[in-house]
Amino acid sequence: MNLNELTIKEASEKLAKKEITSVELTEAVFNRIDKVESKVGSYITLCKEKALEMAKASDERRKTGKALSEIDGIPIAVKDLFLTKGVKTTAASKILDDFLPIHESTPTKKLWEAGAVLIGKTNLDQFAMGSSTETSAYNTSKEFDSTTRNPWNLENVPGGSSGGSAAAVAADECIAAIGTDTGGSIRQPASFCGITGLKPTYGRVSRFGVIAMASSLDQVGPMTKTVEDSAILLKYLSGWDKYDSTSSKKDVPDYAKLINKDIKGLKIGIPKEFFGEGLDPAVNKVIEEAVDQLKSLGAEVVDIPLPTARYALAVYYILMPAEVSSNLARFDGIRYGHSTIKKQENNQTLEEVYSKSRAEGFGSEAKRRIMLGSYVLSAGYYDAYYKKAQKVRTLVKKEFDEVFSKVDLIVAPVTPTPAFKFGEKVSDPLSMYLSDVMTVPANPAGLPAISIPAGFTENKLPVGMQLIGPMWGEQAILNAGCAFQDATDHHLKRPSL
């Protein structure tokens, strides 16, 4: 096995035994990037020099017996939505094309304080708005005229918005990655690319220094090769942060050490609303087989009703654009980022600077969501749309709470279809939005959810199984996910690029 193919757990053990060094591990990752990045296009920015410096520092610590943590020396990729001090951060938008942050996001700061190594910044849908990474302003694939590609089939999208992180993990261009999930942006690309992707409970991980899309929905999480790796990484990402008032002060468990793979008697709910019209038969077959596997491990499976969950997508596409409209107002061409002022155009009014800078800097999807959000927040429509959506959000959350009083976990597909072809949905926004119909409900409810490789279609495209837990129920979904991966080998398969 090549070093870049190792999991966090495997690499950590080899580093601890001094069988390998962090420099060797990091160089192996960059050798892999040299071989396949021109096809896959996972990264916007690579940090080879910085990464090797961090790796050398890690090796020096280990020589003196002062390793900072089990992830000390582990090469990790970061979605280009996290502020990284002194490293270009773009949110995949031209409006931030030359932005160098002067401080570090809390999640990445925690990783570096634990000794992790920054490989680079991965591609995404612009400002995390999209389900295919096609809305990125950066064409990162050198061999193809498109953005990031799915390593399992280069004609297919990797999913989004964390498509670059998912593709990098699947292609072994990093040992692990981090992403963000607002309506499925970790879980959907994880499913499309055949990796594990975890969205924690809202508030489990600080959002400070993560460029905001929709602040009441955004959550940071790990994207890894195994469930156990997600458990390891989650420990270092989690915890209260004085700079994020929505972060929780609840104690952070050592998730990986507490994993219990015995799921006998675990009560799992199957919501019929997630298995209806629009679900690809190939996806349905894989999920049914995965549920049978959970049954064989001793889990009890029962049907549950979630009738209000079908309104979650409509709620999401009212609340999310409203928050986008507010959050993106800061990108005005004055304080930072792209500005027509830099072109030294004469006689521009303030309004002209705003409108021209934004017209040139924002992509079409960002503009669409800003306009939708401004509309639902406008006088005369606020009560009809935004206020009503908030009320329905409360009902969705209440329904999940009631269900979790009867079952321990919920199992569902992650997406209605496997990864689709480039261009298939980009011209039809409504069709693209429906890609998130099964991941979205967990976000307005604030629940933890994970995508785990569950099998493949006849066309050799990965399919993910979604486990949804109650608030602060990360340990339960990690336990069930680990038990499933112990009994299957879907997560061990890798694309042949």
CA torsion through residues 162, 95, 112, 42, sign: positive
* φ/ψ (deg, to 5) at 367: -65, -40
Digit-by-digit pLDDT tens for the chain (497 residues) are: 899 999 999 999 999 999 999 999 999 999 999 999 999 999 999 999 999 999 999 999 999 999 999 999 999 999 999 999 999 999 999 999 889 999 999 999 999 999 999 999 999 999 999 999 999 999 777 777 678 999 999 999 999 999 999 999 999 999 999 999 999 999 999 999 999 999 999 999 999 999 999 999 999 999 999 999 999 999 999 999 999 999 999 999 999 999 999 999 999 999 999 998 889 999 999 999 999 999 999 999 999 999 999 899 999 999 999 999 999 999 988 877 788 876 655 667 888 888 888 999 999 999 999 999 999 999 989 999 999 999 999 999 999 999 999 999 999 999 999 999 998 887 777 777 777 899 999 999 999 999 999 999 999 999 999 999 999 999 999 999 999 999 999 999 999 98
Instruction: Single out the catalytic residue among 136, 161, 162, 248.
Output: 161
- Asked, for residue 352, whether it belongs to a domain, the answer is no
Instruction: Single out the catalytic residue among 131, 185, 230, 339.
Output: 185
**Chain position carrying tokens 């021109």:** 38
- Show the CA angle centred on residue 493, arms to residues 22 and 417, nearest 5°: 120
Interatomic CA distance for residues 354 and 374, integer angstroms: 16
- Asked, for residue 176, whether it belongs to a domain, the answer is yes
- Asked, for residue 363, whether it belongs to a domain, the answer is no
Residue span of the structural domain in which 40 resides: 3-268+407-492
- Asked, for residue 332, whether it belongs to a domain, the answer is no
- Show the CA angle centred on residue 220, arms to residues 12 and 13, nearest 5°: 5
Catalytic residue status for 79: yes
- Asked, for residue 153, whether it belongs to a domain, the answer is yes
- In this structure, how many other beta carbons lie within 10 angstroms of the beta carbon of residue 126? 27
In this structure, what CATH number is given to the domain that contains residue 259?
3.90.1300.10
Instruction: Single out the catalytic residue among 12, 22, 42, 79.
Output: 79
Buried b (16+ CB within 10 A) or exposed e, 301-336: beebebebbebbbebbbbbbbbbbbbbbeebbbeeb
- Asked, for residue 52, whether it belongs to a domain, the answer is yes
Total tally of structural domains belonging to the chain: 1
- Asked, for residue 151, whether it belongs to a domain, the answer is yes
- Asked, for residue 42, whether it belongs to a domain, the answer is yes
